Chains A and B, each alone.
Chain A
Amino acid sequence: MTTREDFSPDSGGQGGTIALRQVCCIADGRALLDIGTLDIRPGERVAIVGHNGAGKSTLLRLLTGFASLTHGRVEVLGRDLSARPTPEQLRALRHEVGQIHQGLHLVGRLSALENTLIGSLGRVAGWRSWVRYFPAQERASAEAALHAVGLLPRARTRADKLSGGERQKVAIARLLLQRPKLILADEPTAALDPAAASEVCHLLAQAAQSATLISVVHNAALLPLLAERVIGLKNGRIAFDLPLAAVDDQKLVNLYRPDQFAPTVPWQMRESEPCSAL
């Protein structure tokens, strides 16, 4: 049985980016997430795969405090999220966590440059951030970030006038400016054509060179670009957790196939299984 001692910094959390213990998320009477143990070390490249509703997004939201857990312990970048973190603690965490979503997470009425500068809001406080009068140094790095993703010519274009691929590149430029320790990418290529998808993945991998990267991917062809470790989620539980080389098509097919028979004994049932204990 996992105890509090298991969670002490030197067992799971020493320098660890992410540590989950006995985590259970329940919403509307349904278990969204049911994970016994999950550790992710700094600098790891992890992909999460699984069917719709498998709990991938819930897991990512959990790591930034946008979803709350019913039971268990979550530690992200040395911060304990289990004990109802205060808004200040959550903000401090989010300063260090870069997020990229399906291309919708930009402020449509602001320009590409201004959207990039949102990444620096953690460093620029007060009235300057209200009127978006950013220091020259931040502006310069924002332009450099846009240049890095090849969007400098579009810097003054409003985000809602950009194409899907361009929007994702702006989001990556925002990551570059934010300089996070952990990057969470939730289906970053969902709305893109294959060419744009691989370009965005390359840029994302570059942006994550000095960070931990956790991405949710559906396209198996993109896995090698973004991950060296693959976690398969099924019905909120970890179905497999393997190095990239050990993941073959059959495993993915099995993961996405609906269950013919509802499992009578849940996977890895233990006395202390997070959700069944409730």
Chain B
Amino acid sequence: MSNFAARRHFAERWVGYLKGRLGFLSLTLIYALLVAACLISLASEDELSLGRNPLANLAKTAGEFARPSFLDLWFGDPHLEYKSDDGRVLRVENRQEVEADYLAALGRATWTTVRIATLGSLLGALLALPLAVLTARNLSAPKPLAWLAKAVLDITRSIHTLVFGLVLVGIVGLGPTAGILAIGLHSLGTYGKLFAEAIESLDMAAIDAVRSVGATPDQVFFNAVWPSVLPQFVASHLYVWEFNIRDSTILGLIGAGGLGLLITEATALFQWGRLSTVLIVVVLMVSTFDALSRRIRQALA
């Protein structure tokens, strides 16, 4: 106990040094020094260049972006002729039909992305629940178990979804399964932290109220714990799910399927018009889900 008190005293003294105007000033100074070090070292390595003609590139890219490919559905040339240098017609293409096929593929990819995000989030939430119960400080689980659970949560949270995806593609092969597992494993850490916080903010008076009439542990759980944590669980689930919808759009980059695949394709072929179409879909999807989940979270509060 005295050891604990000594440690706390030590911590308080350090926090004490950082308090006040002088402490804040020195923190600002340290931050400024760090920024300067980053800038100067990069400049000295000549890594701060913007390329040869950034303005022209920007104008060209922005121009193509401004004309998303889906406009071809109406304005595309129905009889586009590909000619060789000597004027021979190699191939005739209906741009409108090609774009309709592309949009159908885009729809399927969007659905795959939603499926990856939804199943991955559910997987992460289910895996995180027992770990959150173990790490919540007010439930005082056995120390070694709590540390183990906290380690799992910290590790999974610090490894990016893409890294998990790359490893998993090697294990379960290309396709949405790798994406689902990657999303699940990474969001496990976030879920665990949010769930544990929900449990820690539990209203202990409510638990005492139910306990004081002689309720059994299961009755205490369903009548006091569950009603107070459920809305918070649902809110965190919606929040992370929403995050994962955004996250899963890039999982296609590593072959996990979905919109990311179309993004890689479009960037590899410098088809900025197509990328523009894909990004519009991403923005629409994410903001729709955001609006829906915000409504639900407000209703639950």
Contacts and interface: CB of A to CB of B under 8 A. Distances in A.
Interface of A: 64, 66, 90-99, 101, 104-110, 115, 118-119, 121-122, 125, 129-132, 174, 178
B222 interface: yes
Interface residues of B, number: 20
Interface in B2-16: none
A118 B222 contact: no
Contacts of A118: 209-210, 213, 215, 223
A167 to B, nearest CB: 11
17 contacts: A90-B214, A91-B215, A91-B216, A92-B214, A104-B205, A105-B209, A106-B205, A106-B206, A109-B227, A110-B227, A115-B209, A118-B215, A122-B213, A122-B214, A125-B219, A129-B218, A131-B222
Nearest to B212: A99
Among A64, A118, A122: residue with most chain B CB under 10 A: A118
Contacts of B212: 64, 66, 94, 97, 99, 105
* Nearest 5 Cβ contacts at the A-B interface: A94-B214, A105-B209, A95-B214, A130-B222, A107-B206
Given A131-B222, A132-B223, A121 B203 contact: no
B246 interface: no
A105 B205 contact: yes
Nearest to A115: B209
B219 A121 contact: yes
Contacts of B227: 107, 109-110
Contacts of A66: 208, 212
A94 B209 CA distance: 11
A94 B227 CA distance: 22
Nearest to A131: B222
Interface of B: 203, 205-206, 208-216, 218-219, 222-224, 227-228, 231
A107 B213 CA distance: 13
Contacts of B219: 121, 125, 129-130
Given A118-B223, A129-B222, A131-B222, A107 B215 contact: no
A223 to B, nearest CB: 24
Contact of A94 (B205, B211, B224): B211
A99 B215 CA distance: 13
Contacts of B206: 105-108
Contacts of A96: 214
A99 B209 CA distance: 8
A104 B206 CA distance: 8
Contacts of A101: 205, 208-209
B231 A109 contact: yes
Contacts of A109: 227-228, 231
Among A95, A105, A115, A129: residue with most chain B CB under 10 A: A105
Contacts of B211: 94
B1 to A, nearest CB: 9
Nearest to A117: B223
Contacts of A119: 213
B157 to A, nearest CB: 29
A110 B218 CA distance: 17
A108 B228 contact: yes
Contact of A125 (B210, B216, B223, B224): B216
Nearest to B227: A109
B224 A174 contact: no
Contacts of A91: 214-216
Contacts of A94: 211-214
A126 to B, nearest CB: 9
Contacts of B218: 129-130
Nearest to A109: B227
